[in-house]
Amino acid sequence: MQLNLPVPARALAIAAHADDVEFGCGATLAKWSAAGCVVNHLVCTDGSKGSWDPATDVSALVATRQDEQRAAAKALGATGEVAFLGAVDGELESSLDLRREVARWIRRLRPEVVLGHDPWRRYRLHPDHRHAGFLTIDGVVAARDHHFYPDLDVEHWRPTTLLLFEAEVVDHFEDVSGFVDAKLAALHEHASQLRSTMHIEVDSPDEEQQRRRFRRHEVDRMAVFGRQAGLSFAEGFKRIDDL
Ligand SMILES: [Zn+2]
Tens of each residue's pLDDT in the chain, 243 residues: 899 999 999 999 999 999 999 999 999 999 999 999 999 999 999 988 878 788 888 999 999 999 999 999 999 999 999 999 999 999 999 999 999 999 999 999 999 999 999 999 999 899 999 999 999 999 999 999 888 988 888 999 999 999 999 999 999 999 999 999 999 999 999 999 988 888 999 999 999 999 999 999 999 999 999 999 999 999 999 999 989
What's 118-131 look like in SS3? CCCCCCCCCHHHHH
For residue 202, the CA-to-ligand 1 centroid distance in Å is 21
| Distance, CA of 41 to chain centre | 7
* Centre of ligand 1 from the C-alpha of residue 1, in Å: 27
Q: Read out DSSP for 147-163?
A: TS-TTSSS-----SEEE
CB atoms under 10 Å from CB of 228, counted, come to 12
- Residue 67: CA count within 13 A, CB half-sphere: 8
The per-residue pLDDT for 46 is 94
Distance 86 CA to ligand 1 centre (A): 14
Distance from residue 14's CA to the centre of ligand 1 (Å): 11
140 CA distance to ligand 1 centroid (A)? 20
> How much distance in Å is there from the Cα of 10 to the middle of ligand 1?
23
Separation of CA 150 and ligand 1 centre (Å): 32
CB 137 within 8 A of CB 144: no
Amino acid at 182: A
Instruction: Tell me, in angstroms, the distance from the centre of ligand 1 to residue 131's CA.
Output: 11
Phi/psi class of residue 156: alpha, beta or left (left: φ > 0; alpha: ψ in -120 to 50)?
beta
Between the CA of 130 and the centroid of ligand 1 the distance, in Å, is: 10
Give the pLDDT of residue 50. 78
Residues with CB under 5 A from ligand 1 (ion): 16-17, 20
Instruction: Supply the pLDDT for residue 7.
Output: 98
Phi, psi of 187 (to 5 degrees): -60, -40
In the reported structure, the alpha carbon of residue 153 is separated from the centroid of ligand 1 by a whole-number distance in angstroms of 30
Taking the centre of ligand 1 as the mean of its atom positions, its distance from the CA of residue 99, in whole angstroms, is 18
**Distance between CA 29 and CA 38 in Å, rounded?**
9
Interval between CA 117 and ligand 1 midpoint (Å): 9
Say how many C-beta atoms besides its own lie within 10 A of residue 53's C-beta.
10
Rounded distance between C-alpha atoms, residue 191 and residue 208, angstroms? 15
Structure confidence at residue 54 (pLDDT) = 83
Half-sphere CA count of 162, side-chain side, radius 13 A: 22
Plot region of 153 (φ>0 → left; ψ -120 to 50 → alpha; else → beta): alpha
- What is the Cα–Cα distance from 114 to 98, expressed in whole angstroms? 17
The CA 159 to ligand 1 mean position distance, Å, reads 24
